[in-house]
């Protein structure tokens, strides 16, 4: 779990976590029929089998070979208002695991991270709804964590914005398979606004603002008052804002972003990140007056 910055690391590996999702009240059979998975006569057959065995409707339908396990999971997701993508990595990157494989053990661990963030960080009344996801160096899983955290927050019902502020090596447009003709750089240069954030089809409540065209002056662009103003408008429209950043120890961009956002989650990678690099990143973010809400070890 997430503890105080100097006391903890969180292994991003599989472990059980509880689900808490709202129920729509619709019967699972009606959902399966609406999705074209069952006909009316199929449903009658399932109901008869359900009464005979005393099973749940979905279990009886599977036993009769009328639906698959995947069909039932998708119907349950609709019943409990738990959006995820039916299509797999053909539409989005394989690493967006929370979107297309929400029952994977790693996603349970990500939900555990979300829970700890809700307990220890999230406080909209105090203005704490914007979180920078940072790492000391490149290739430590920062963009992976930012993308999947944004998904699991949206699955909780929070209006969530994922903002790619990494102008050095942006990745969110590739992870979500969205165009990046306009994005954060366009908004900060006055050529766009929050509408540059694209809703993610199939994931209700999630929008992604890609980095946009690569600017020649990333640090100067992020240092302008327009970035703070954009974050302010985003906070008025979204419940949670997750910001992806360049590596802390390689560019000063992350310092500026963290200063504006206020809070940061520091990601390191198992068997790759050196302790001294993490310690340096903590110092630099703290010097930028950012609150380190926790550290996370990515083992995925």
Shared-domain flag, residues 54 and 123: no
Q: Give, in order, the Cα–Cα distances in Å from 70 to each of 66, 148, 198.
A: 12, 21, 28
Residue 93: CB atoms within 10 Å:
18
Shared-domain flag, residues 66 and 104: no
Domain tally for the chain? 2
Spatial separation of the C-alpha atoms in residues 85 and 120, rounded to whole Å: 29
pLDDT in tens, 158-182: 999 999 999 999 999 999 999 999 9
Task: Supply the pLDDT for residue 28.
Answer: 85
Task: Supply the pLDDT for residue 206.
Answer: 96
Shared-domain flag, residues 102 and 69: no
Shared-domain flag, residues 100 and 46: no
- Decide if 202 is inside a domain: yes
- Decide if 3 is inside a domain: no
Spatial separation of the C-alpha atoms in residues 249 and 278, rounded to whole Å: 9
Longest Cα pair distance anywhere in the chain, in angstroms?
70
The structure tokens listed for 297 are 């070890």
Shared-domain flag, residues 147 and 59: no
Task: Supply the pLDDT for residue 208.
Answer: 98
CATH of the domain at 287: 3.40.50.300
Task: Supply the pLDDT for residue 75.
Answer: 78
Task: Supply the pLDDT for residue 152.
Answer: 96
Residue 38 lies in domain: 28-79
Residue numbers in the chain where pLDDT is lower than 50: 1-23, 89
Task: Supply the pLDDT for residue 25.
Answer: 63
* Measured torsion, CA atoms of residues 189, 177, 194, 261, in degrees rounded to the nearest 10: -80
Q: Give, in order, the Cα–Cα distances in Å from 35 to each of 32, 40, 42, 72, 290.
A: 5, 12, 13, 11, 47
Closest by Cα among 221, 211, 91, 83 to 146: 211
Q: Give, in order, the Cα–Cα distances in Å from 145 to each of 30, 33, 96, 113.
A: 36, 36, 9, 10
Taken as a whole, the chain contains a residue count of 300
- Answer whether 53's CB lies under 8 Å from 41's CB: no
Shared-domain flag, residues 59 and 125: no
- Decide if 128 is inside a domain: yes
Shared-domain flag, residues 175 and 228: yes
- Decide if 151 is inside a domain: yes
Shared-domain flag, residues 213 and 159: yes
């Amino acid at each position: 779990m997430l503890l105080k910055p100097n006391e903890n690391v969180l292994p991003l590996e599989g472990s059980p976590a509880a689900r808490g999702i709202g129920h729509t009240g619709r019967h699972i059979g009606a959902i399966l029929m609406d999705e074209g998975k069952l006909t009316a006569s199929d449903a009658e057959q399932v109901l008869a089998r359900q009464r005979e065995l005393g099973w749940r409707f979905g279990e009886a339908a599977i036993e009769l070979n009328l639906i698959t396990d995947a069909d039932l999971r998708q119907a349950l997701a609709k019943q409990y208002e738990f959006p995820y993508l039916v299509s797999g990595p053909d539409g989005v990157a394989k690493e967006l695991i929370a979107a297309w494989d929400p029952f994977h053990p790693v996603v349970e661990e990500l939900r555990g991270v979300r829970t700890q963030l809700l307990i220890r960080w999230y406080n909209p009344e105090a203005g704490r709804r914007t979180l920078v996801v940072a790492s000391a160096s490149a290739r430590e899983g920062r963009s992976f964590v930012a993308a999947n955290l944004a998904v699991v927050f949206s699955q909780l019902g929070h209006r969530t914005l994922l903002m790619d502020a990494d102008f050095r090596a942006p990745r969110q447009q590739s992870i979500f398979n969205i165009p990046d003709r306009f994005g954060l750089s366009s908004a900060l240069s006055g050529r766009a606004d929050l509408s540059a954030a694209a809703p993610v089809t199939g994931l209700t409540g999630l929008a992604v603002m890609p980095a946009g065209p690569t600017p020649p002056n990333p640090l100067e662009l992020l240092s302008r008052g327009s970035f703070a103003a954009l974050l302010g408008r985003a906070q008025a429209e979204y419940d949670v804002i997750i910001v992806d950043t360049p590596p802390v120890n390689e560019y000063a961009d992350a310092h500026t972003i963290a200063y504006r956002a206020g809070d940061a989650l520091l990601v390191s990678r198992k068997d790759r990140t050196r302790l001294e690099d993490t310690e340096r990143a903590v110092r630099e973010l703290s010097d930028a007056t950012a609150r380190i809400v926790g550290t996370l070890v990515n083992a995925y």
